Structure 1
Amino acid sequence: MDSNLNTAQSLYTPEDLRNVLRQLLSEQSLWTRFLIISILSGLGDIEVVTDRLYKNAIDIGNLFRLYYGDTIGNEIQDSLRTYFSLIIALINAYKSTVFDTLSNTDLTLIHQANTPLYAAAGQFSILLSNINPYWNQQTLGNIFKNTIDMLNDEIYKRRTNQYYADVTQYDFIEYYSLMTADILWNGFINQFYH
């Protein structure tokens, strides 16, 4: 952090930064949703949508690179790529699971896919709190855990053809994305603009 030569004058305006963060986190939710639909429906666009989701990791990494330098930018990008890969594994676990009734369904694959996903989210909250003292690790950890909980609910509802509930769940995820973007924005503002 101390080696960062950027000044607030060379960075986004506070308003533009907030818009960029909100856009990037909204895109992450959106492309994840498209990927859920594509994988569960076996559509032909899975590779294209996957690539677009991974581009989101690059875009977020580039934003962090601007403020924190290449090392942190690369670490953020790599962490997000890993996280997205784990989300893809989770979607595929749901696709492979046969849902009879929830009490008769073997959820082993889903539990196995969730374990590294929750761990990666926890590590990401530690990474963020280590680079910015205004990002509380426990708060971020709770937000990321809740996001994964909602993601599981979204995938399950889509997988079991509960389309109205699936869309409603996505609305909550979108709101959470904007809230998370604002928390990150406050950290950037406090660290770089005061």
Structure 2
Amino acid sequence: MVFDLPDVNFVTNRLLQNPKDFGNVFRVYYGDRADSRLRDLIRKHLIIAAQLVNAAKAGDNAAAAEIEKKWYANGDEIATFVGSINPYWSAEDWKRMYRTHLGLVKSEAVNLLTKNYSAETSTYDELESQALEIADIMIHGIVKQFPQKFK
């Protein structure tokens, strides 16, 4: 999106597969309702993120600020939901992690928009590291909650 590359539709479609991927995993442990709720929240997250990038690219700072508020509110919704379905997860911890994630994603987008590729590369590394930390926390909570499924 940032560079108007011809693969934007393909990349967008792949990103929109992520809510299904997450939902499929969550359904195994938490059922269809959790799957559906998580899919909706993550899909909304991706749509808001695209709106934010487009507003920033257009230089519409007022719209970008409003969209960013919605993006963070959606992140809080995701964190609250995820934190509520597993007793080994804390909604507050998820909010902290998600806000860190959103801050890194925003930094990455700003770095791309301002052509600060060196900083973008470092930010990408931070994002990857944080994603792995989140994955570890997620799987540890699932294993603790459903130890019988991991024997």
| Band the TM-score falls in, shorter-chain normalisation | over 0.9
Corresponding position of 1:62: 24
Identity across matched positions, percent: 30
**5+ long unaligned stretches in structure 2:** none
Q: 1:139 aligns with which of 93, 103, 113?
A: 93
Corresponding position of 1:153: 107
Do the aligned partners of 1:61 and 1:74 also contact (CA within 8 Å) in 2? yes
Does residue 80 of the first structure (1) align with residue 34 of the second (2)? no
1:40-51 paired onto structure 2 within 5 Å: 40-51=2-13
Distance 2:41 2:7 in 1: 24
Between Structure 1 and Structure 2, whose CA radius of gyration is higher? 1
Corresponding position of 2:76: 122
Q: Secondary structure at the match of 1:41?
A: coil
Does residue 176 of the first structure (1) align with residue 138 of the second (2)? no
Query: Letter of the aligned partner of 1:147 in structure 2?
Result: H
1:95-110 paired onto structure 2 within 5 Å: 95-97=57-59, 107-110=61-64
Report how far residue 133 of structure 1 moved: 1.0
Q: Which has the higher contact order (CA 8 A, sep 6+)?
A: 1
**5+ long unaligned stretches in structure 1:** 1-38, 98-105
Report how far residue 155 of structure 1 moved: 0.6
Query: Letter of the aligned partner of 1:121 in structure 2?
Result: G
The count of residues paired between Structure 1 and Structure 2 equals: 148
List 4+ stretches of structure 1 deviating above 3 A: none
